[in-house]
Structure 1
Amino acid sequence: MLNSEKIGNEFYQNLGMLFYAVAMVDKHVRPAEVTRLRKYVRQHWLDLDGFEDEFHTDAAYQIEIVFDWLDGEEKDGEAYFNEFKEFYKDHPEKFPPKVKDLIVETAESIAKSYAGKNKSEMLIIFRLKQLFTH
């Protein structure tokens, strides 16, 4: 696998971790949050670039695959937010303004999908926005 393909897959896998952290921040991943994530992947993330995984599937599906796997683990999302943060710091070139905007939009949509944003969801989105501005 070429290094750029590896980084492309890692990019989407880290997004899966981030979006799981947003959904899990209140200690529960709700079906509405999963539905919203899938909708965003199909409507926005699949068209972002031409990266494919080793199975010649759009690499953006890695977002869903990782999210689903982590949901089965039922662990706290804070560690996954931190992993995303490290990936972001190591690969800032993968995050032009358009991508950052889509990440924040997706995270906010997931947070709002079940009874609006609660305090813990607002806080993690605030931390994400801070990360992108520093």
Structure 2
Amino acid sequence: MNQKSHIEFYRRLGHLFFAIAATDNCVRDEEFKTLQTIIYKDWLSLNEDAKYILETFNELQSNEEHNPMTCFQRFVDFKRAHPTLFDTTISSKILKTASAITTSFSGQNKSELILLAKLDLELKKK
């Protein structure tokens, strides 16, 4: 995978994690702090380009016009266009990160559970 694809991969993860955090129309500090911790602990050890996850998340959060479902669909479109990037290990890490975001503030709500289920189904598709 070339450098541009790598960066785009992490940017699309930023879209996904923003969609997960914002699906209830509010990104809580706890959700962002959880994401930050996981990125530094688990993702940056894979590749330093993972910093683009947080960069993209911050850009989306600072521009309130971004719709969580549009961001989710951008991730899905990228995943479908580049299925080889999403092996079992990466898919598991994505799901684990998304789940951690949703449980960081007073448990998971219905909209978060629905989006997590859609993500799980999408990641299982080849």
- Shorter-chain TM band: over 0.9
Q: CA deviation at 1:23?
A: 0.2
Identity %: 32
Aligned to 1:126: 117
Letter in 2 for 1:72: S
Letter in 2 for 1:117: Q
Which residue, 77, 96, 100 being the options, matches 1:105?
96
Q: CA deviation at 1:76?
A: 2.0
Aligned to 2:87: 96
Relative to the length of structure 2, the TM-score reads 0.96
Matched ranges for 1:22-101 at <5 A? 22-49=20-47, 58-74=48-64, 75-101=66-92
CA-to-aligned-CA distance 1:74-111 (integer Å, 9 cap, x gap): 23210010000000001111111000000000000000
Cα distance in 2 for partners of 1:76, 1:87 equals 17
Letter in 2 for 1:65: E
Cα distance in 1 for partners of 2:10, 2:123 equals 17
Q: CA deviation at 1:48?
A: 1.6
Aligned to 2:2: 4
**3-state DSSP of counterpart to 1:86:** helix
Runs of 5+ in structure 2 lacking a partner?
none
Report how many aligned residue pairs link the two structures: 124
Q: CA deviation at 1:12?
A: 0.3
Which residue, 85, 89, 108 being the options, matches 1:117?
108
Range that drifts further, 70-79 or 118-127 = 70-79
Relative to the length of structure 1, the TM-score reads 0.90
Runs of 5+ in structure 1 lacking a partner?
50-57
Cα distance in 1 for partners of 2:50, 2:123 equals 21
**3-state DSSP of counterpart to 1:121:** helix
Letter in 2 for 1:38: Q
